[in-house]
């Protein structure tokens, strides 16, 4: 077992390079400043030991030194701060055209759902060289999606969606961990991320038997009766949903919010939390009736609805039409 002891992690994403370069920079500074403190302390300890230097000189301080060793470390720290902020900014802003995969954490497993309909547990297959965004939520406690080879990590929080993104640079299999303590089998909430050639990934995707996520979502949309109010042909009692995803929604209380995954989730689970301007508060809450999987399917379906020409999404009501619900 003494052979092949890894001392540095594999590097398999674009983020990994960015994080590592910053890491090396800070390591360099750490070594430099430790070396200064240690060697100066050792030198003084040798040179001014009592047996050799019995009478201490009463020195009280030096303003120049104080200013120097406050300002210089501060400036170096600001370089680290700015550099770290740039990397973090990149990490926090997924590219607009990233492919999306949904992930659900639960005690003690990971479930991933591909838009094409493939589902997997404790396994995640992704293509190499493409931006991938994982949209994450938890069914119970807080988890954390962490792939060390990608230098990537993000908390997975119940009741909301968070996301992480990466672009894998190397095919292979990498370890996936839960990094936020989540109970008994926390250490068992691990899996593999398999990075594949795009062609192999396409082939792997086609193995699904049950239709795409949005198709499954459409079924649910009809089954739950959403379709009776949220109509696509004419203005129903609820807003038209085509094109709503990613748009700015005007609320009855005057605020404007972006319709992202968390907003849609909230509108389904706590339907009276944010009322769209011009619509009555009549939608029932679906809390307890839809699973996290179901929510993902519905969101995927709503995302797939493109705005219809001539029928702007989100208009409270078409001109001349009766105000809804009155």
Partner 1 sequence: MATTPTYPKEHYLNHDFGIKSWLLTKDHKRIGILYLLSITLFFFVGGFFAVLIRLNLLTPDGALVTADTYNKLFTMHGIMMVFFFLVPSIPATLGNFVLPLALGAKDVAFPKINLLSWYIFVAGGAMTLWAVMTGGVDTGWTFYVPFSTSYAQSNVILAAMGIFVAGFSSILTGLNFIVTIHRMRAPGLTWFRLPLFVWATYATALIQVLGTPVIAITLLLVGLERGLHIGVFDPKWGGDPVLFQHMFWFYSHPAVYIMILPGMGVMSELISTFSRKPVFGYKFVAFSSLAIAVFGFIVWAHHLFVAGISVYSAMVFSFLSFAVAIPSAIKTFNWTATLYKGAISFRTPMLYAFGFLGLFTIGGLTGLFMAALGTDIHIHDTYFVIAHFHYIMVGGMVMAYIGGLHYWWPKISGRMYPEPWGKLSALIIFLGFNLTFFPQFILGYLGMPRRYHTYPPEWQVLHVLSSAGASILGVGYLLPMIYLLWSLKYGEVAGDNPWGATGLEWQTASPPPAHNFVEMPVVNEEAYDYSKEREAAFV
Which residues, other chains included, contact 138 with Cβ-Cβ below 8 Å and sequence gap of 6+? 104, 105, 106, 156, 157, 158
Q: Is 299 one of the binding residues for partner 1 (CB under 8 A)?
A: no
- Residues numbered 95 to 134 that lie near partner 1 (CB under 8 A) are 107
Report the nearest approach of partner 1 to the CB of residue 229 (Å). Answer: 24
CA 297 to each of CA 124, 191, 293, 303, 305: distance values in angstroms, whole numbers, following the listed order: 18, 23, 6, 10, 13
Report the nearest approach of partner 1 to the CB of residue 293 (Å). Answer: 17
- Residues numbered 138 to 177 that lie near partner 1 (CB under 8 A) are 140-142, 144, 146, 148-149, 151-155, 157-160, 162, 175, 177
Nearer to partner 1, 59 or 234 (CB): 59
Q: Is 289 one of the binding residues for partner 1 (CB under 8 A)?
A: no
- Residues numbered 183 to 242 that lie near partner 1 (CB under 8 A) are 183-188
CB-count burial class (<10 Å; 0-12, 13-18, 19+) for 169: middle
Nearer to partner 1, 37 or 282 (CB): 37
**Cross-sheet strand order for the sheet of 191-196:** 123-127, 191-196, 172-178, 143-147, 152-156
Q: Interacting stretch for partner 1, rule CB under 8 A, among 27-35, 212-220, 247-255, 304-312? A: 27-35
What whole-number distance in Å separates Cα of residue 154 and Cα of residue 136?
9
Nearer to partner 1, 136 or 242 (CB): 136
CA end-to-end span of the chain: 75
Count, residues near partner 1 per rule CB under 8 A:
89
Report the nearest approach of partner 1 to the CB of residue 39 (Å). Answer: 10
């Amino acid at each position: 077992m003494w052979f092949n002891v890894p001392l540095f992690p594999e590097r398999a994403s674009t983020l990994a390079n960015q994080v590592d370069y910053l890491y090396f920079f800070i390591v360099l500074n750490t070594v430099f400043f430790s070396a200064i403190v240690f060697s100066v302390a050792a030198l003084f300890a040798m040179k001014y030991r009592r047996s050799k230097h019995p009478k201490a000189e009463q020195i009280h301080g030096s303003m120049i030194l104080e200013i120097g060793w406050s300002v210089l470390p501060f400036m170096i720290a600001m370089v680290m701060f700015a550099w770290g902020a740039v990397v973090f900014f990149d990490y926090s802003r997924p590219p607009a055209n990233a492919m999306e995969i949904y992930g659900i954490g639960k005690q003690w497993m990971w479930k991933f759902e591909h838009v094409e309909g493939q589902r997997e547990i404790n396994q995640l297959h992704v293509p190499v060289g493409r931006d991938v965004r994982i949209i994450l939520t938890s069914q119970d406690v807080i988890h954390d999606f962490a792939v060390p080879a990608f230098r990537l990590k993000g908390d997975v929080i119940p009741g909301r969606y968070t996301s992480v993104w990466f672009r894998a640079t190397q095919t292979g299999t990498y370890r996936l961990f839960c990094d936020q303590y989540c109970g008994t089998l926390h250490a068992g909430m691990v899996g593999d991320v398999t990075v594949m050639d795009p062609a192999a990934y396409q082939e792997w995707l086609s193995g699904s038997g049950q239709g795409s996520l949005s198709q499954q979502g459409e079924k649910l949309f009809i089954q739950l009766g959403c379709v009776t109010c949220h109509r696509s042909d004419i203005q129903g009692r609820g807003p038209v949903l085509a094109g709503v995803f990613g748009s700015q929604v005007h609320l009855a209380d005057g605020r404007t919010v972006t319709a992202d995954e968390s907003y849609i989730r909230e509108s389904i689970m706590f339907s009276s939390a944010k009322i769209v301007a011009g619509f009555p508060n009549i939608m029932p809450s679906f809390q307890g009736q839809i699973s996290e999987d179901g929510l993902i399917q519905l969101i995927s379906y709503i995302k797939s609805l493109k705005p219809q020409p001539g029928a702007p999404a989100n208009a409270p009501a078409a001109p001349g039409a009766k105000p809804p619900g009155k």
